[in-house]
Amino acid sequence: MSNAQAATTGGEDSAPPISTVAGTGVAGFKGDNDPAVAAQLNRPYGIAVDSTGTLYFSDHSNHRVRKITTDGKISTVAGIGSAGYRGDNGPALSAQLNGPREVAVDSAGAVYITDAGNHRIRKITADGTISTVAGTGTAGFSGDGGLATAARLNLPLGVAVDSTGVLYIAEYNNHRVRKITADGTISTVAGNGTAGSKGDGGPAASAQLNRPFAVAVDGAGDFYIADAHNHRVRKVVADGTISTVAGTGTAGFSGDDGPAASAQLNLPLGVVVDSAGTLYIADHANHRVRKVTADGTISTVAGTGTAGFGGDDGPAASAQLNKPLGLAVDCVDTLYVADYDNHRIRKIASAKLAGLPDSGTVVSWANVRSRLRMAVLRESTKDGAEVHQALATPRAHQRWRLVVAGQDNGDVLYRIENVRSGKVLEVVGAQELHGAVVAQRAYEGGDAHHQQWRLIPVGSVTGTPRVYEIANRNSGLLLRVDTNARTAIQQHGAEGDHRERQWQLLPV
């Protein structure tokens, strides 16, 4: 049984819960290098999640971009806190931004920012250096067919990046979406520059948009536009044809559980698409997040329609939002919402995590048979240090952070990260043999299948403590011990005493 199937049999409430991951609700700036839930934000706007699970967001009125790592800590990655323009080709932390809006992250970990008040798109590379990739700083429209750095933009608000590194920019005052290819060339891909709503069924570059606010790209390379003042979401497919996928063009709220194209939206300002092709919309003035499934049906996933704050740890559809803006999804389709006027970042748990630990959960693993704990030998922080079972102690070498690492055939994958060393659990040498030992090593990324694990629930997922089998993605074998002695943990099949391959998850 897969972990997805096992979770489904648990009978837990299927409504995904909502929670706060950053912000106290009080506008301000404080809290860097501490837990994000205790930090102050000031109108968070755009959000993006990278391949490691790090969340980036634009702290709009603080003129900063900040990040939240998988341990829940917040820090600033760009901006000094005062509006302006300076700092290109130097450290992003010393640079000035002017009302940053959306953010995006590419496959190499570079962060892109719509520096709206500066009419520029800026980029932060992995070493922390900031530069301009589009815009001269003068508002206007020019430069198509040439280098993006020599082009004029006019209040760029939305940005997205596809799997090939192509950037898409929603230009609010130019009523256009433009793209920047890998060689730095800019061109218009949607909108003729005149505000309006015409053009569905024809070429997107000849169509009218009205204050596009955001853009998102799906796995097929199609892109979606939050056509804000048309109260619509529109889609551009690979051949350049544009159509409306949600909204009638009249502001309001209606249509849930029916065709999205017949529903009313009220200032759709954010869009994102998950791994299944489900479209999520920040229905800003309706104080809701709505979704459109592959069959075109729309429904509300978060928000009651009344502005406010409430509902954390309960069903998202019963919670209050206050002018939601940016949206993002992670590798298992957890949805993140910039709850703009609540000065918070909130998340809606993925249905795929039903019966499984939330990403970032810190636990101690106890073998069901031996009652001993999973621990790094001699508390080592070195690559290759073996992982053994040991007597319980309240020390960090026995604590493990569970971070979602992706999906495989519908199953959630985790990397199991030692709290003391920051290194992850792996099968030594990526072996597929029974009896291979496990150790810790620096995470090698999404292709490192020997460092990724399935958690298979055993028994009721409502039991305390929960019990799991831990299966390696690469070998398919299970972590097991066959003795009560303090010895190395190995991978084996499902033979023998079932307790030897079962592990209690003990939150710490």
429-469 pLDDT per residue, tens = 999 999 999 999 999 999 999 999 999 999 876 778 999 99
Burial class (CB in 10 A: 0-12, 13-18, 19+), 157: buried
Quote the pLDDT of residue 5.
Answer: 41
Q: How far apart are CA 398 and CA 415, in angstroms?
A: 15
Quote the pLDDT of residue 14.
Answer: 59
Find out whether 135 and 123 touch, Cβ atoms under 8 Å: no
54: three-class secondary structure by DSSP: coil
> Which top CATH class is 361-507?
mainly beta
Distance from the Cα of residue 71 to its chain's centroid? 15
pLDDT tens digits, residue range 281-340?
999 999 999 999 999 999 999 999 999 999 999 999 999 999 999 999 999 999 999 999
Over its C-alpha atoms, the chain yields an Rg (Å, rounded) of 24
Residue with the two structure tokens 């748990």: 349
pLDDT for 4 beyond 50 = no
Sequence-distant (6+) residues with CB within 8 A of 436 are: 427, 428, 429, 475, 477, 490, 491
Distance from the Cα of residue 248 to its chain's centroid? 29
- The CA–CA distances, whole Å, from 173 to 83, 155, 381, 476 equal 20, 6, 53, 53
Which structure tokens are listed for 98?
């002017």
In percent, the amount of the chain with pLDDT more than 90 equals: 95
Q: How far apart are CA 69 and CA 150, in angstroms?
A: 35
Sequence-distant (6+) residues with CB within 8 A of 193 are: 141, 174, 175, 176
DSSP string, 314-327: SBGGGSB-SSEEEE
Quote the pLDDT of residue 12.
Answer: 38
Find out whether 449 and 456 touch, Cβ atoms under 8 Å: no
pLDDT tens digits, residue range 349-408?
999 999 999 999 999 999 999 999 999 999 999 999 999 999 999 999 999 999 999 999
Domains 17-349 and 361-507 share a fold: no
Sign of the CA dihedral running 165, 173, 116, 132: positive
In percent, the amount of the chain with pLDDT more than 70 equals: 97
Percentages helix, strand, coil for the chain, rounded to the nearest 5? 10, 45, 45
Quote the pLDDT of residue 421.
Answer: 98
Task: Give the predicted TM-score (pTM) of the model.
Answer: 0.95
Give, as one character, the DSSP assignment of residue 38: G
36-468-311 Cα angle (round to 5): 35
Distance from the Cα of residue 474 to its chain's centroid? 25
Quote the pLDDT of residue 292.
Answer: 99
pLDDT tens digits, residue range 19-74?
999 999 999 999 999 999 999 999 999 999 999 999 999 999 999 999 999 999 99
Which structure tokens are listed for 193?
């520059």
Could you state, in order of their start, the residue ranges of all structural domains in the chain? 17-349, 361-507
Q: How far apart are CA 39 and CA 343, in angstroms?
A: 10
Q: Minimal CA–CA distance to 466: which of 1, 4, 7? A: 7
At residue 11 the predicted structure's pLDDT band, cuts being 50, 70 and 90, is very low
Give, as one character, the DSSP assignment of residue 263: S
Q: Give the total residue count for the chain.
A: 508
17-349: CATH topology is: Neuraminidase (2.120.10)
